[in-house]
Amino acid sequence: MYLGGVTFTISKSFGRLQLIPENNGLRLYYVPMKNGVEEKDSAGMLNLVLPLDAVGGLWATTRAFLYGVESLDENVILQGAQGQDGDTLVKLYRDKPRGAQGKLSGEETCWLRLVTGRSEEERRRIKLGPRDLLCLELACNSVLTFAANSGSHKPELMG
Tally DSSP H helices, then E strands, for the chain: 2, 9
Q: What is the CATH number of the domain that holds 75?
A: 2.30.31.10
Q: Please tell me the predicted confidence (pLDDT) of residue 81.
A: 64
pLDDT (0 to 100) of residue 22: 95
Task: Please give the single-letter amino acid code of residue 144.
Answer: L
Q: Show the beta-strand stretches assigned E in 23-87.
A: 25-34, 37-38, 46-51, 74-78
Q: Is residue 21 part of a domain?
A: yes
Question: Has residue 128 been placed in a domain?
Answer: yes
Task: Look at residue 2 and tell me if it is in a domain.
Answer: no
Find out whether 20 and 29 touch, Cβ atoms under 8 Å.
yes
* C-alpha distance across the termini of the chain, in Å: 40
Residue 33 CA to residue 40 CA, distance in Å, equals 9
Residue 42 belongs to some domain of the structure: yes
What tens digit of pLDDT does each residue of 121-134 get?
999 999 999 999 99
Taking the C-alpha atoms of residue 25 and residue 29, their distance in angstroms, rounded to an integer, is 13
Q: Determine, yes or no, domain membership for 155.
A: no
The confidence score (pLDDT) of residue 156 equals 80
Q: What is the pTM of this model?
A: 0.89
Per-residue pLDDT of the chain (159 residues; tens, 9 = 90+): 777 788 999 999 999 999 999 999 999 999 999 988 999 888 899 999 999 999 999 999 999 999 988 888 999 999 876 556 688 999 999 999 888 888 888 889 999 999 998 899 999 999 999 999 999 999 999 999 999 988 887 778 877
pLDDT value of position 84: 62
Instruction: For residues 16 and 10, give the distance between their C-alpha atoms in angstroms, rounded to a whole number.
Output: 6
Q: How far apart are CA 52 and CA 44, in angstroms?
A: 24
159 occurs within a structural domain: no
Provide the domain count of the chain.
1
Q: Is residue 158 part of a domain?
A: no
C-beta of residue 119 within 8 angstroms of C-beta of residue 88: no
Structural domain that includes position 130: 8-150
Residue 96 lies in a domain: yes
- In angstroms, the CA 42 to CA 32 distance is 7
Q: Name the CA dihedral angle for 124, 69, 138, 18, rounded to a multiple of 10 degrees.
A: -10
What's the pLDDT score for residue 90? 96
Render pLDDT for 39-52 as a digit per residue (tens, 0 to 9). Answer: 988 889 999 999 99
Contact yes or no for 128/111 (Cβ under 8 A): yes
| H helix or E strand, kind and range, residue 136 | helix 130-150
- Give the closest residue to 139 by CA, choosing from 1, 3, 5: 5
pLDDT of residue 45: 94
